[in-house]
Amino acid sequence: MQEGMGRLVNIIIRTLLSILGAIAGYQLAQYLSGSPWWPKSTLMLDLSMWGLVIVFSAFIGYLLAPLFIRGIARIGQIFERSLQSFTWQDLFVAILGLIVGLIVANLLAMPLSAIPNLGFYLAILLNIILGYIGLIIFLRRKDEIVSMWSSFEVFRDRFHLKGKRTREEDMHDNIKILDTSALIDGRILDIAKVGFIEGTLCIPAFVLLELQAIADSTDPLRRAKGRRGMEVVEDLQKLPDVKVEILEQTLKELKVDTVDEGLIELAKKLRAKIITTDYNLNKIASIQGLSVLNVNDLANALKPVLIPGETLEVDVIKEGKEPNQGVAYLTDGTMLVVEDGEKYIGKRVEVVITSLLQTSAGRMIFGRVKREAN
């Protein structure tokens, strides 16, 4: 199938180049027929010379066809390799530069087209040169063009909806960027399901790549975490009342090396909030003045409020660090240290809360046994 298609392309290109050669030969014969050495003694000899020049030029075009095909294939390979390192942003800027170069070339070629015989070829040459120059200039000035385009988008957003003014802060307040730890943690899905998430949840492409790398790990635990994160992304996209967007920016475009740096740069660019469970990312983002929504802080804030003197029933499950202490856990996972509770291990007891201690690791509650529950 491919061999047959290649043969057909070869025939078509040979035919086209032969026709172009014949046209060029006709124009060459027309130019040479005005010279004094051109034989004009008889009509037959004159026509023979015309035919000879045209056929010779068509034959040259036919012979050049294989070289032309190999050249096009070589250019295609170079173009394909170049595109592999191109981003969509690079491709857009390159096409824009090519269009601008071709527009300028055609404006300059209009007076040149009046030149007999050479005007057409000069116009083609001018289109090739200026199109290439426009492409190269726009690629080298890519950052300036992108920033200019971003400025135009901000201007457009400020004056959209028939002049209705929108505060710039309000435009970005509802954008939230999810990091890898928040997706692996999974609690963000439950928060979104109950409607406590407003606005747009943005997931950068480099976060998805990190999740994929974790899911492909040889460590079973890391692999399970990565797959859990990918499942959370899919489930978030299925929620009808939650808008999820995948941001295509790469770490290379953001000019950073790590995912955390990319999240911070992206949050600055979009003036968005970061949703995370990563303590270090939380601190670094806060130092740089960014808003961070830590799922752990939310979970701690939602734990039931207990006051000293309140009683509750718990199961003492193990001994504590200090002598005679027992340890129990509330339904939300909060540790309850029971004084003189070691002898009640494995039993349900009624405990009176004596004090509470808030630490960086969470909240600890202390109590003493009031009586053994029935």
Residue 263: the pLDDT is: 92
Residue 362: the pLDDT is: 65
* Arithmetic mean of pLDDT, 181-200: 88
- pTM surpassing 0.85? no
**Burial of 18 by CB count in 10 Å (0-12 exposed, 13-18 middle, 19+ buried)?**
buried
pLDDT of 231 over the 90 cut: yes
In the 8-state DSSP scheme, what is residue 305? P
In this prediction, residue 164 has a pLDDT band, given cuts at 50, 70 and 90, of: very low
Residue 167: the pLDDT is: 43
Query: What confidence tens digit (pLDDT) does each residue in 297-343 have?
Result: 887 777 777 888 888 888 999 988 888 899 998 877 788 899 988 88
Query: What confidence tens digit (pLDDT) does each residue in 261-278 have?
Result: 999 998 988 889 999 998
Spell out where 75-154 has E strands.
Answer: none
In the 8-state DSSP scheme, what is residue 290? -
φ, ψ (nearest 5 deg) of residue 39: -70, 125
CB atoms inside a 10 Å sphere around CB 302: 8
CB atoms inside a 10 Å sphere around CB 294: 20
Residue 169: the pLDDT is: 45
In this prediction, residue 224 has a pLDDT band, given cuts at 50, 70 and 90, of: very high
Q: How far is Cα 354 from Cα 337, in angstroms, rounded to an integer?
A: 10
pLDDT of 3 over the 70 cut: no
In this prediction, residue 161 has a pLDDT band, given cuts at 50, 70 and 90, of: very low
* Least-confidence region, from 64-78, 203-217, 260-274, 288-302: 64-78
Q: How far is Cα 74 from Cα 82, in angstroms, rounded to an integer?
A: 12
The structure tokens listed for 284 are: 């670094």
Element spanning 85, H or E: none
The gap between the terminal CA atoms of the chain, to the nearest Å, is: 84
Residue 183: the pLDDT is: 92
* Arithmetic mean of pLDDT, 344-354: 90
The structure tokens listed for 201 are: 């949840």
Residue 252: the pLDDT is: 85
What is the SS3 assignment for 293?
A: strand
Of 329, 331, 330, 351, nearest in space to 339 by CA: 351
φ, ψ (nearest 5 deg) of residue 313: -100, 130
pLDDT of 165 over the 60 cut: no
Residue 228: the pLDDT is: 92
Of 26, 23, 17, 29, nearest in space to 63 by CA: 17
* Arithmetic mean of pLDDT, 246-254: 86
Q: How far is Cα 207 from Cα 85, in angstroms, rounded to an integer?
A: 20
Element spanning 88, H or E: helix 88-112
Q: How far is Cα 332 from Cα 299, in angstroms, rounded to an integer?
A: 9
* Arithmetic mean of pLDDT, 185-190: 90
Instruction: Indicate the average pLDDT of the chain.
Output: 80
Q: How far is Cα 135 from Cα 94, in angstroms, rounded to an integer?
A: 5
Q: Tell me the range of 41-55, 170-184, 331-345 where mean pLDDT is highest.
A: 331-345
In the 8-state DSSP scheme, what is residue 343? G
If phi over 0 gives left and psi between -120 and 50 gives alpha, with beta otherwise, what is residue 271?
Answer: left
In this prediction, residue 178 has a pLDDT band, given cuts at 50, 70 and 90, of: very high
Query: What confidence tens digit (pLDDT) does each residue in 195-204 have?
Result: 888 888 999 9
Spell out where the chain has E strands.
Answer: 175-178, 200-204, 243-247, 273-276, 292-294, 311-319, 326-329, 335-339, 348-359, 362-372
If phi over 0 gives left and psi between -120 and 50 gives alpha, with beta otherwise, what is residue 224?
Answer: alpha
**Distances 240 to 192, 203, 225, 236, 237 between C-alpha atoms, Å:** 10, 17, 25, 9, 8
pLDDT of 124 over the 50 cut: yes
pLDDT of 184 over the 90 cut: yes
Q: How far is Cα 357 from Cα 211, in angstroms, rounded to an integer?
A: 36
In this prediction, residue 130 has a pLDDT band, given cuts at 50, 70 and 90, of: confident
pLDDT of 128 over the 70 cut: yes
Residue 210: the pLDDT is: 92
Residue 2: the pLDDT is: 47
